[in-house]
Amino acid sequence: MQDSQNGGGFDELCDSVFQLDEKIRSVRAINNKGKLVAGGMRKGLTALEDAKKDEMLFMELSLRVRMRHEFDTEFGPVEFSLSYRGKIVIMSFPMDPNVLFVTTERQIDLNKIPFKILELIKK
Question: Mean pLDDT in each 10-residue stretch from start to end of the chain (123 residues)?
Answer: 54 97 96 91 84 80 79 92 95 93 97 98 90
Amino acid identity, position 56: M
The SS3 call for residue 103 is: strand
Q: What is the pLDDT of residue 63?
A: 77
What is residue 3's predicted lDDT score, i.e. its pLDDT? 37
Pick the CATH number of 10-122 from 3.40.50.2300, 3.30.450.30, 3.40.50.300, 3.40.190.10: 3.30.450.30
Please confirm whether the linkage preceding 77 is cis (ω < 30° from 0): no
pLDDT value at residue 6: 47
Of 41, 103, 30, give the one whose Cα is nearest residue 65.
30
> Quick one: DSSP state of residue 97?
T
Global pTM reads: 0.86
**Which pLDDT score, from 0 to 100, does residue 45 have?**
86
